[in-house]
A and B are shown apart, each in its own frame.
Chain A
Amino acid sequence: MAKNHPTEQDFLKMVTAQTKPNDVASTGLSAPAKPTMKLNRPPSGPKISTEELYNQELEREQAKDNATSPARADIFLNELPSVGEVRKVSLNLIDDSPYQPRLRYDPIKLDTLGLSLQTAGQVEPITVRIIGDRFELLGGHRRCRAARSIGWNEIDAYVKECDDFQAEKIALLQNEGREDLSEYERGKVYKRALERGFAKTQTELASMFGCSQPTVSNCMKLLSLPDEIKSFLEATPSLFGTALAKVLFDLLKDYPNELPLLVEGIQRVANGAETTNFRTWFMMKISSRNRGSKKKETSVVTGKSGKTLFTAKVDNGKVQISLGEGIRVDEQTVAKWVIAALRERADQADIE
């Protein structure tokens, strides 16, 4: 061991002793500064293993491969009659699909895509159809945006013949599988596919989109959230997903009158609060409010001697007055006083 230095054991002992928050004072050091910022906690609780993650992904891939429904986007697109080969199309002439369910584009992801277009070139042509003297996108909304952002003038495209009904189906199918489509947007896609008659049941939807029926059901459940909460998702679809929605439905069931508090919680999430501790936050709010109300709403009237004469408690629209021990008046007298006091102020309480 090096000279003039404590041994490993000494060192470890020292670290342990000096840094246990409670022991700091005893070592003569100043007490630890209370963390001024809120420190995020790492997630705790159940999580899947790397094996489970692997198997899940495998299933996902297989489900995709097995989804042989001819309605899948790429097959469907291939079946459409082409107008010539891949060709360069001017980006100025390309319009978005009106059926595009995506509400927002992640600027960072668009940036990355632009960068890869720049370094590696365009690997997959976009797909368009002809509307009048312009083109309408069937697939490749993000590639177009990324290409515009890096200053391209034209882009490789397949030009297909396609009617509105087909175009809508393609837009739905193509976009659903995209990684950054939020669960809320996905829910909207499923709903639209049901409404338009592309599928009749959730199971049919699942096989059409190559996902599981619970996924369809969970995503669509997001659409049945109260409007006050849904408006947040309209603004930021990726604000939260099915996991928090489950918590919200749970809490709504147990506390049907607490929608405003739930909205307040969602506002916090919108401001950057974590979604994982939503329930904890909500329960804390509820319990602290109950505690606060008890304290505030019990008033005590004391005499000159300092003894408690009356206590008044407010509870759910009722006012209860209790008589202190050994006071000289009886309940009837107190009741008369109260009534007299109320009559004096009757005009203040009169119905407008």
Chain B
Amino acid sequence: MILTVITQNTTREPLTTTKTFKAQAVASLLGTSGDTVRRDVDEAGIQVQRQDSSIKTRLFSIENIFELARYRAQKNSKRKVKKSVTLTVYAPKGGVGKTTVTANLASLFALMGLNTLVADLDFQSNLTLSFGYDSELSPEEAKDANIPLDQCIEYHIGHLFPNWPTGQIPLDSVIKKPYGACGPHLVPSDVSLDRLDTLLTYEALEGRNAETAINKLLKDGRGGKLPGIDLSQYDIIMFDAPPAKNRVTRSALLASDFVLAPISLEKFSTKAVSYLASVLTEMNDQYGRNPELLIMGNFFDQNRPRVLQQLSTIRSAYEDCWLNASIRRSEDFPKTLSSDEYELPLCLSKPSSIGAADLRVVAEALIKRMGVFE
């Protein structure tokens, strides 16, 4: 039941680093050539493992790739980060591929060299799982199975709040770095995250505006007002919000510059989008602000008239919110997240698949729309 499949064979290293990539695969991840990859990695002085066989092919670890991505971004003087943004991925309805999209986008943003933080706001912890952390793994079980203790989830976003009942925990102890320091950083979640909503409810009852709590956390964290919690290093902060419109979700939306709503083009989802629009209107009435709505189509299938009709209805009603990029329905995406066998997000595990290609287009379109680069 634990993440033992690979870990037991290679006990030295945590699970997420076992997959290796050859230079050509790295090149397709970074959108460049194999030769450039080899040149850059030497230039950057990144230590890459070599094959044991006679031809000493470089075997890039997932950490190596993100290190290289960071190095290349710093070298590229044309692409400078203009402003940091906060993005919530939210769909009022489940089953639209929201968590898969979030995990992939966070990885792709980091591949662009952006310092990315992604927070799992759902106590069901699916995003946490998609980065390889089983939130049910207890320290005792980990010890027995010889899994490094840092694979266990001890803290979640609630622990970053100064008024958390058991005290604030420094950011470094809360976050996970599944793909190394240069990869996306994850604020994981576990089942006890449910308490955050109760805490916010109390705040509200005490007459404080609980829904502005996440905005306050981000601003204080970016402004150096919280010892131990420095959020100023991040170019992008993402939230994976649960479908329920609870206080935590509303608080994340209120703190976000943008809300990305993935909608399933296979199902009739116009009602869900319309509902989300009205939620944003209510928010605007109450606080004078709301995140800008961006809609992205998922499970696109050009051969199905109903899908096209659905797309056309949504496009004509929400032209200005429509992100001009969709993700096609494809067999590449894993059907379910499982804690028995870990798979990297699709954009990393199968960089040359259609799904990965679509995700890259979406990531680029988003970054452009959000005005992250100069």
Enumerate chain A interface residues (CB-CB to B < 8 A).
Answer: 1-2, 5, 8, 11-12, 14-16, 18-21, 24, 29-30, 32-33, 35, 37-43, 47-54, 57, 60-61, 64, 112-113, 115-116, 119-120, 123, 142, 177-180, 241, 243, 274-276
Contact = CB atoms under 8 A, between A and B. Distances in A.
A5 B354 contact: yes
A39 B256 CA distance: 23
Given A42-B280, A50-B218, A37 B205 contact: no
B29 to A, nearest CB: 15
Contacts of B219: 50-51, 54
B313 interface: yes
B317 A39 contact: yes
List the 3 closest A-B pairs by CB distance, nearest first: A32-B312, A177-B207, A43-B284
6 contacts: A11-B358, A21-B315, A39-B317, A42-B281, A57-B216, A179-B209
A42 B215 contact: no
A83 to B, nearest CB: 25
Contacts of B93: none
B204 interface: yes
B198 A120 contact: yes
A169 B305 CA distance: 66
A276 B358 contact: no
Given A39-B270, A54-B216, A116-B198, A33 B205 contact: no
Given A243-B285, A276-B284, 16 more contacts: A2-B353, A11-B328, A15-B325, A20-B315, A35-B313, A39-B318, A40-B275, A47-B288, A50-B218, A50-B219, A53-B289, A64-B207, A119-B198, A120-B198, A179-B210, A274-B281
B100 interface: no
Interface of B: 86, 198, 201-202, 204-205, 207-210, 212, 215-216, 218-219, 254-257, 270-271, 273-278, 280-281, 284-285, 287-290, 292-293, 300, 302, 305, 308-309, 311-313, 315-318, 321, 324-326, 328, 352-354, 357-358, 360-361
B305 A29 contact: yes
Given A32-B316, A53-B254, A178 B281 contact: no
A132 B86 CA distance: 57
B209 A276 contact: no
A49 B215 contact: no
A53 B287 contact: yes
A64 B207 CA distance: 10
Contact of A15 (B288, B309, B326): B326
B316 A47 contact: no
A115 to B, nearest CB: 8
A40 B274 contact: yes
